[in-house]
Amino acid sequence: MSQLDRRNFVLKSLAAASVASGGLQAAPLKKKLRVGIVGCGRLGQQFTEVYRAIPGIELAAIAEWNPERRRVVGERFGVKALFRDADAMLQKVVPDVVAIITPSKYMKDAVIACAEAGVKGIQTDRPFAARLSDADAMIDACKRYGAVLAGGGLERANWEVEQAGRKLASGELGQPIGVAVHSYRGEICSGGTARMLVLQHFTQSQVDEVVAWGSPVEKLAESETDYGLSINARLHLTSGLDVQVFGSESKAPHFGVEVWTDDNALVRWDRHGNPLTQVFHGLDDRGARIEVDPDYAPWSWGQFGKEIEPLLASLGMRGSEKYYILSPVTDMIDAVTKGVTPRITGETQRHALEIAIACKQSAQRGNVPLKLPLEDRSLALFPRPYRWLGGDVSGRPQSAAEAAGKKK
């Protein structure tokens, strides 16, 4: 990417960010927005709670394959339009927005069905696909039918992460000269997606080449799963920078993304950090980095902030976790009602999946460099069964009492 192209990319990103919501809208929606939930397990119930707390939202329908849970969540949320799956729902009800919080295996068919039916905004969870061709099919269908495809609860949606990336893109901290990703391991196509989405945001660029090494040997030899794999890699960015990727958690003091600049600045996102992001600018008398107050704009909960804080706490969300579902939900609403590009899009999710697939492929083939996008769109990397098939069939079923919202 040339300097001019990169500048245009940054300006467009900043322009989109400048109109993106910094929280919930101060005024109610002018027109009622009808929302459907497909997949109302544990996470789907959290999305449902947040959607129904927003003024102007109508919960139009719920699709849930488990009949007992379908009945219980219908009663819990006061929804009478209950269906087994997306196809059955769309024959009777076509909401404006559909949140598809199913296990990953079932997302593709539901996304395409919603796009073809005329749903305006479609939300998914991570990972939204395992196979590149499936990701392509979802993105293509949404483009063809004019639907917005967005992601779900990931750290990229956090307001601190958003503003840290804006500071880097503005140039006030200097020009990036180095990048590192720490602890790229465990579940690189699901949990690892968070790191790659933050990487894209902080660098305002994409990965165009991968060289990777993987361990342990027995996990690397498995051709289909990402679970338990640790990746070390060199990623080349379209901006011209190289990214050093470290897999081993034991050797990484931070578990996220760091970018440093030619003006002695460093921006750090630490997935488990407190604070979640740090900004350093300048050196002290010992030549050590000086941490500065990033002076982030406050998050605004809008006119019903007093109601949303207790709700999020009741869902077990505190600190930075409060943004993981609320931000994608408000992004989805803004995308449909204002035309604002979501922070997590189908394209950014696909790119994160493609990086993970390329890393494992490179490591398996003897650390060969692989160019992105990958030519073979049949390549896939599957998450562990809980994410791919769901808790009901992988040893973590949800009781009817829990689905009803009752405390254990």
Sign, Cα dihedral of 112, 117, 118, 121? negative
| Per-residue buried b or exposed e for 23-52, using 16+ beta carbons within 10 Å of the residue's own CB | bbbeeeeeeebbbbbbbbbebbbbbbbbbb
CB half-sphere exposure, 3, CA atoms < 13 A: 2
The most confident of 2-6, 12-16, 365-369, by mean pLDDT: 365-369
pLDDT of 223 reads 66
**Percent of the chain with pLDDT strictly greater than 90:** 65
Residue pLDDT, tens place only, 296-335: 987 766 555 666 777 777 777 766 666 778 888 888 999 9
Instruction: State yes or no: pLDDT of 401 exceeds 80.
Output: yes
Q: What is the pTM of this model?
A: 0.90
Candidate from 2-6, 255-259, 354-358 with smallest mean pLDDT: 2-6
14 pLDDT more than 70: no
pLDDT-derived band at 12, boundaries 50, 70, 90 = very low
- Model confidence band, residue 154 (pLDDT cutoffs 50, 70, 90): confident
In this prediction, residue 250 carries a pLDDT of 62
Q: Residues 37, 63: contact at Cβ < 8 Å?
A: yes
When comparing pLDDT for 31 and 229, which is higher? 229
Q: Is the pLDDT of residue 366 over 90?
A: yes
- Mean per-residue pLDDT for 381-397? 89
User: Do 296 and 160 meet the contact criterion of CB atoms below 8 Å apart?
Assistant: yes
- Provide the mean pLDDT of the chain: 88
CB 271 within 8 A of CB 194: yes
Quick one: average pLDDT of 177-206? Answer: 93
Mean pLDDT of 224-246: 94
For the cut 70, the answer to whether the pLDDT of residue 93 exceeds it is yes
Q: How far apart are CA 124 and CA 126, in angstroms?
A: 7
**Tokens of residue 258, six digits:** 């760091």
- Contact residues for 56 (Cβ-Cβ < 8 A; gap 6+): 28, 29, 30, 31, 32, 33
Q: Which of 104-108, 236-240, 251-255, 400-404 has the lowest mean pLDDT?
A: 251-255
Sign, CA dihedral 203-200-42-223, equals: negative
Give the model's confidence band at 353: pLDDT under 50 very low, under 70 low, under 90 confident, else very high.
very high
- Phi then psi for residue 224, to 5 deg, are -115, -20
pLDDT for the residue numbered 4 = 36
For the chain, list the domains and their CATH numbers. 19-155+340-345 (3.40.50.720)
Q: Mean pLDDT over residues 90-115, rounded? A: 97
- Confidence at residue 325, expressed as pLDDT on a 0 to 100 scale: 81
Q: Which residues pair with 176 in a beta bridge?
A: 261
pLDDT (0 to 100) of residue 273: 84
Round to whole Å and give the CA distance between 230 and 132: 21
Burial of 258 from C-beta contacts in 10 A (0-12 / 13-18 / 19+): buried
pLDDT in tens, 16-53: 443 344 554 444 577 899 999 999 999 999 999 989 98
What is the token pair recorded at 25?
């809208």
Report pLDDT for 16. 41
- pLDDT tens sequence across 68-87: 999 999 999 999 999 999 99
